[in-house]
Amino acid sequence: MFPVARAARSLVARGVQHTAVRQAHRKHEPSFHDKYGAMVLLGGAAMFSTVWTYVLTQLNIEWGFSPVGKVTPREWRE
């Protein structure tokens, strides 16, 4: 192996080892998602449900009505 490649490999390995040691000794602090993730999800679901419930009840849509069999043609006028 070339001396430059060997030196680069050892530097990379040493950097990885230092990073691993530094992260192992650090205390885990909860992130935003650890603290508030479930509450944000539940709040979003509640807001989604509330808005769509309001929209669907205020539009006066006649659900499930089909004109098939209920519409009769008029007599043709000549």
The CATH number for 16's domain is 4.10.51.10
Rg, the chain, Cα only = 34
Query: Which has more confidence, 52 or 25?
Result: 52
The answer to the question of residue 67 being in a domain is no
Nearest partner of 70 among 61, 62, 58, judged by Cα: 62
Alpha helices in 1-78 (DSSP H): 3-24, 32-58
- Give residue-wise pLDDT tens across range 4-41: 777 777 766 777 777 777 666 666 788 888 889 999 99
- CA 64 to CA 60: how far, in whole Å? 12
Q: What is the pTM of this model?
A: 0.43
The answer to the question of residue 64 being in a domain is no
The answer to the question of residue 76 being in a domain is no
**What is the tally of structural domains in the chain?**
1
